[in-house]
Structure 1
Amino acid sequence: MDARSPSLSGVKATPAETKRPRGRPRKTDLERDDGNRRQALITAAASLFRRQGFAATSTRDIAQAVGMHSGSPFYHFKSKQALLYAVMESGMHSAIARQGQALLEVGAASPARLRLRALVRSHFETLLGPGNDFVPVMLYEHRSLAAKQRVALSKLQAQYEAAWSPVLEALHAAGALGAPVKLSRLLMLGALNWSVQWFDPRKSASIEDLTDACMGLFLKESLT
């Protein structure tokens, strides 16, 4: 039957009698606060994806974690995969901002060794600081993204890692870095990233201690 034809009884259905279309539930006043609710969903999803894994976490789990109806996350994200990407994208933007602030505080004209220390410490804070679940999610759920999402994320990662190259080049030129710059950067970041597997602030060293250990491990003795 054509959607514009009258009902069989010849009487138009009243709004109360009209069936609600399938799909997304109606927004409540609480759910209309898009910015706050979106960020709450990202935070909750990051924590759940880290603890349970992407495949084992349902949108219902995420919605319940922030006190929303089970279908409400789809007002903010088209799919669970879109939410996964948002977790990683949001985390990378935060990491880039934190790293930039760390370099700004130490100063562009400061010795390369001090700038590397700022980068290492900032990276540890991103990896191990409270509420930073996105890195483990990114490391272990990367393949769950669509191809276009992986490309977009790789651009953010390249932007983040680009800040390391000039610092390592200066250290290499001064003889404080024994390995080639590109390999050094990859190995350093790989070693730092692995700390999410074993670091426990209740049993292990502090972030400051970890930073000291990395500086001693990565660099030769130098005044640079």
Structure 2
Amino acid sequence: MPKEIITDTTGQALPGAETTKKRGRPVLDDSESIRQDLIRKSAQLFRKKGYDNTTVRDIAAAVGIQSGSWFYHFKTKQDILVAVMEQGMQKSLEEIEKLTLADLPPRLAFQHLVKVHLNTLLAPEHDFIAVLLYEWRALDKPARARIIALKDRYEAAWEQVIIALHASGDWAMPTRIDKLLMFGTLNWTAQWYRRGSGISIDELAEQAIQFILRTKPQ
């Protein structure tokens, strides 16, 4: 493991002043830690109370900072909303881009996509995507364009798998409306699904795939 040499003001090494330099993920500094906490707590509040009904005082109180302190990290409440949505989309993209979808049979690739989507939407403390779905209209035009760019990247991964599903015969004739209904079906689970309700997310994914493709499980 490399050593870090501590020097005096002239640049000379101080005797015995070697420290072991740790490898691995850097620790977040206080500023970045507070920023991440603001995003996470805001996502929870926006989902629970709604964007319009959540005040900056609510956010500051949830994080445990003074009501004016969050201005060091975000200029407006809208900026926090955008950060929440971007973080949700980035997490989803990272999970999908880890998958080697092109190397999988189309139905299995589709299964992975559905599971990632539902886990991102329904897993504990995953409030980001739910906020995106139900607070979309609160975005101004420039912010909406940023989120749309991420959404287009996300949907492009699905499009390739849907094309392969059609070619394999697993999805007979996927139309534009079919794809809208597919996302509508998956996204609506955020309204009614509860953990511990007798069906796991993986089981829910299997049921959703049968419904969307109108086929029996394989």
Is 2:33 the counterpart of 1:40? no
Q: Deviations over 1:13-65 (max 9, x none)?
A: xxxxxxxxxxxxxxxxxxx7221111000000000011111111111111111
Shift of 1:188: 1.1
Q: Trace 1:70-85 onto structure 2 (pairs within 5 A).
A: 70-85=67-82
Q: Trace 1:90-109 onto structure 2 (pairs within 5 A).
A: 90-101=87-98, 103-104=99-100, 107-109=101-103
Equivalences, count: 190
Structure 1 spans left out of the alignment, 5+ residues: 1-31
Aligned to 1:211: 205
- Using structure 1 for the length normalisation, give the TM-score: 0.80
Contact kept in structure 1, 2:86 and 2:147, CA below 8 Å: yes
Structure 2 spans left out of the alignment, 5+ residues: 1-28
Shift of 1:223: 11
Aligned to 2:65: 68
Is 2:118 the counterpart of 1:121? no
Q: In 2, Cα distance between the equivalents of 1:191 and 1:221?
A: 16
Contact kept in structure 2, 1:165 and 1:182, CA below 8 Å: no
Which amino acid is 2:141 matched to? Answer: A
Contact kept in structure 1, 2:210 and 2:216, CA below 8 Å: no
Q: Trace 1:1-224 onto structure 2 (pairs within 5 A).
A: 33-101=30-98, 103-104=99-100, 107-219=101-213, 221=215
Q: In 1, Cα distance between the equivalents of 2:217 and 2:38?
A: 47
Structure 2 vs 1, CA of residues 111 and 222 (structure 1 numbering), >3 Å: closer, same or farther?
Answer: farther
Shift of 1:218: 2.0
Q: In 2, Cα distance between the equivalents of 1:55 and 1:97?
A: 29
Structure holding more strand per residue: 2
Q: 2:53 aligns to what SS in structure 1?
A: coil
Structure 2 vs 1, CA of residues 74 and 63 (structure 1 numbering), >3 Å: closer, same or farther?
Answer: same
Q: CA RMSD in A?
A: 1.9
Which amino acid is 1:155 matched to? Answer: A
